[in-house]
Amino acid sequence: MSNVFEGYERQYCELSANLSKKCTAATALNGEQKKQKVSEIKTGIDEAEALIRKMDLEARSLQPNIKGVLLAKLREYKSDLNNLKSEIKKIVSGNLNPSARDELLESGMADAMTASADQKTRLMMSTERLNKTGERVKDSRRTMLETEELGVSILQDLHSQRQSLLHAHNTLHGVDDNIGKSKKILSNMSRRMNKNKWIIGCIVLVLVVAIIMILYFKLAK
């Protein structure tokens, strides 16, 4: 429901009830007082027509499902305004006999009471809708705050996880460096061991040759 439409609706209901009371009062007046009251009623009718035009424009700018409901209400207000126009025409004509005037007076009082009751009902419904809207806004705000807090918590967790990943990455990088150094050391040790093996082999070979030569010379003598 449009808050703008509801604002125009409240203004129209108040104005319509006021005009009904003025029409009732005008039937009991004569002379200048009656003319002044009729002038006030005509001004009020112009204001009511302006409010109906505003409500019509606002209703047509809304979604189809809401627009249909508001246009139906607007037709009732237009009918109500036409009844007021008919009453003011009867008052202005001045051709009412006493019985007709009494009948119009009674009818006007009944219409005023009905309009007042309708106005009160509409105002209560509008107030209830506004209260519900306010509750929905509060709920939405509460949900938004909870979502914001959850988002902040998630961002903090993500930041913490990022720091952990960076630390793990740095640790792995350090491990890679250590593994590289260990490989170099093992490679150097392997080369040295091979070198030592060759040296020992050569020494053993020389010793074997020397022993063979010694044995040979001893046996030759």
Instruction: Please give the model's pTM, rounded to 2 decimal places.
Output: 0.44
Q: For residues 40 and 30, give the distance between their C-alpha atoms in angstroms, rounded to a whole number.
A: 15
First-to-final CA distance of the chain: 133
d(C-alpha 77, C-alpha 16), whole Å:
9
CATH 1.20.58.400 fits 1-94, yes or no: yes
Confidence of residue 137 (pLDDT cuts 50, 70, 90): low
Higher-pLDDT residue of 118, 187: 187
pLDDT tens digit sequence for 19-71:
888 888 888 878 888 888 888 898 999 999 999 999 999 888 888 888 888 88
- Decide if 2 contacts 62 (C-beta within 8 A): yes
Digit-coded pLDDT (tens) for 140-166: 668 777 888 887 888 888 888 888 888
Q: Where are the domains of the chain?
A: 1-94
Q: What is the pLDDT of residues 68-90, one digit of tens each?
A: 888 888 899 999 989 988 888 88
Q: Which amino acid is at 96?
A: L
Cα–Cα distance between 16 and 47 in angstroms, integer?
10
Interval 96-112 mean pLDDT: 53
